[in-house]
Structure 1
Amino acid sequence: MALLKGIHHIAVICSDYERSKEFYTDILGLEIVREVYREERQSYKLDLAVAGQYRIELFSFPNPPARPTEPEAMGLRHLAFEVEDVDACVSVLKKKGVDVQPVRIDEYTGHRFTFFEDPDGLPLELYER
């Protein structure tokens, strides 16, 4: 029997809660499941769903430390979203003012993908099925 059953959520800490909330909901189209403000921590917690599943937790904290920005820094490298048509998604993101890297092809799978960043520079990927 496998110990792990799946990925429950991914947590992201942002520097500007309202800007990141707008990015993840208005630009990327994630659905708000629940939003709470935790007074004792001076922190928002926003639960988001992607296509009705895979919850992302968006947190705000006072003065969070900066994340290393080098592409090969230790830690979470990027968050990848599965898409049907990477070109269509790139077009939508560009129309909404998001800078997107050129589309590439995964040398092992043959699938197309590209990268862009959230408002804090967190690397995000679109990966075509």
Structure 2
Amino acid sequence: MTDTGFDIRGFNHVAMVCSDMERTVDFYCNTLGLKLTKTLELPDGIGQHFFLDAGNGCSLAFFWFAEAPDGVPGISAPEEKPGFGEWISAVSSLNHIAFDVPAEKFQEYRQRLKDAGVRVGPIVNHDESETQVATEMHPGVYVRSFYFQDPDGILLEFACWLREFGPEDVAHRPRTAAERRTPVAVGS
């Protein structure tokens, strides 16, 4: 990588749009345990902007807009969790947010979400195999995760790294827009 002179230290915040701020705050604070850190009423009554502490100086933020259109599953966000259905989303959409969790708490956190009534996906052992998923743990598994959704269907993931990456892990040429399938217009 070229040194651009930017001292990027991680994410300040990731901002999304919710349909019900009260329900969103309840889920992220009372189910996931994040702390509400800042709330704003937006000018001219257009909505609200709330921030939650996501750990390590990072925040998760939500907008609630009085005039926001509804999301379109499969376009503005995945329809489902990997393992339960279609999880591809449109260009420029937010596909999912992965929260880093400690490996030793991974199973416990999954059970706690299930006990809280959250529908969680299967555990995924990500590896370098053809399917990129191992059914059993082995030294090539580099991250374990599972997916779930917030009340608006935003796809979330709890993930734990199992090894550090090295230069050998960067081996693929970035693809271009010209290599994509021709997009199909909605309603065609």
TM-score, length basis structure 1? 0.89
Which fold has the larger relative contact order, with Cα–Cα distance below 8 Å and residues 6 or more apart in sequence?
Answer: 1
- Residue 95 of structure 2 aligns with an amino acid whose one-letter code is R
- Aligned-partner Cα distance in 1 for 2:57–2:34: 10
Partner Cα distance (1:8, 1:59) in 2: 16
Instruction: For 1:113, give the aligned amino acid.
Output: S
SS in 2 for 1:20: helix
Once the two structures are superposed, what CA deviation does each residue of 1:35-83 show, in whole Å capped at 9, x if it has no partner? Answer: 1222514312111112252111111111422333222122221000011
| Residue 123 of structure 1, CA deviation | 0.3
- Sequence identity (%): 28
Name the residue aligned to 2:88.
Answer: 72
State the Cα deviation string for residues 2-53 of structure 1 (Å, max 9, x = none). Answer: 3361322100110011001100111111111111222514312111112252
Q: Which residue of 2 aligns with 1:58?
A: 62
In the alignment, is residue 115 of structure 1 matched against residue 147 of structure 2? Answer: yes
| Kept after mapping to 2: 8 A contact 1:14/1:120 | yes
Which amino acid counterpart does residue 60 of structure 1 have in structure 2? W
Q: Which of 94, 97, 121 is equivalent to 1:101? A: 121
Q: Return the match for 1:83 from 101, 113, 119.
A: 101
Alignment: residue pair count: 129
Greater Rg over alpha carbons, structure: 2
Output the CA distance in 2 between the equivalents of 1:68 and 1:86: 31
**Structure 1 regions of 5+ residues with no counterpart?**
none
Distance 1:96 1:40 in 2: 37
TM-score between both structures, scaled by the size of structure 2: 0.63
Deviations 1:67-108 (A, max 9, x none): 332221222210000111221111111111111011110124
Code of the residue aligned with 1:82 in structure 2: it is: D
| Bigger share in strand | 1
Question: What are structure 2's unaligned runs of at least 5 residues?
Answer: 75-86, 129-139, 162-188
Question: Would the alpha carbon gap of residues 4 and 123 (structure 1) be closer, same or farther in structure 2, given more than 3 Å must change?
Answer: farther
